[in-house]
């Protein structure tokens, strides 16, 4: 007859083996979802949403137009039909799509159909791109809620899924770049981050958002 003590070494060995196997097993990849929005200047939208907990990355680019792989010059020239857009990659276990949509509406002027703030023209219009019926439903609900909260007509359209084209490297993380500009409309030999702040202030983005949304404006300092 076997004694209980004879089982202990075997059980211990099995536990160690299972423990090592668990350590060596690849960790499950964190779930990531994507929300693509257009809110005027993509530098500003990228800067706003990269400050949100749960957002892994925000990429400046273009969506909703006719031309494949458009350049910034082509888009701002008004011949491609694209919006300046930002693709927001987020962890839905940390921040929900609903929360991001609510933040988006309260970071723009959704009553303006001709652009945003000092930036005018079709590439600076606002929009939300929905890749599925569920995403469209969420966006429409957020739009209705924003319109009710604002007490004014919200003209931001909910569009279908569209190819997203990242903008040139020059535009990525513009708001925090230490690269110096030889010349810009807001100064000579200034860092991109400084030029960005001067542009944002001069364009009146935060002033208008605060006027519209008051204390509900999430990114106005």
Which residues are known catalytic residues? 41
Residue appearing with tokens 């910034």: 72
Longest CA–CA separation in the chain, Å: 90
In 92-137 the beta strands, taken as DSSP E runs, fall at 115-116, 119-120, 126-130
End-to-end CA distance of the chain, in Å?
77
DSSP 135-191: HHHHHHHHHHHHHHHHTS-----EEE---EEEPPGGGTTGGG--PEESSBTTBSSEE
**β-strand partners of 84:** 62
Q: Which token pair is 81?
A: 């039909």
**β-strand partners of 181:** 190
Asked whether the CA dihedral 186, 122, 112, 97 is positive or negative, the reply is negative
């Amino acid at each position: 007859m076997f004694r209980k003590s004879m089982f202990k070494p075997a059980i211990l060995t099995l536990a160690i083996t299972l423990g090592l196997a668990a350590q060596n097993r690849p960790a499950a990849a964190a779930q990531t979802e994507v929300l693509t929005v257009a809110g005027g200047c993509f530098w500003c939208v990228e800067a706003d949403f990269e400050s949100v907990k749960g957002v892994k990355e925000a990429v400046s680019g273009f969506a909703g137009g006719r031309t494949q792989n458009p350049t910034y010059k082509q888009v701002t020239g008004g011949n491609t039909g694209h919006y300046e857009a930002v693709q927001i990659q987020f962890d839905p276990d940390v921040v929900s799509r609903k929360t991001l949509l609510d933040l988006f509406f309260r970071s723009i002027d959704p009553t303006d159909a001709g652009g945003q703030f000092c930036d005018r023209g079709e590439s600076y219009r606002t929009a939300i791109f929905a890749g599925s019926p569920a995403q469209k439903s969420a966006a429409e609900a957020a739009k209705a809620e924003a319109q009710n909260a604002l007490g004014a007509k919200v003209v931001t359209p909910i569009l279908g899924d569209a190819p997203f084209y990242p903008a040139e490297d020059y535009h990525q993380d513009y708001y925090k770049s230490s690269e110096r500009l030889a010349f810009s409309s807001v100064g000579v030999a200034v860092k991109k981050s400084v030029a960005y702040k001067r542009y944002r202030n001069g364009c009146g983005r935060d002033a208008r958002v605060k006027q519209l949304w008051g204390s509900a404006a999430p990114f106005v300092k």
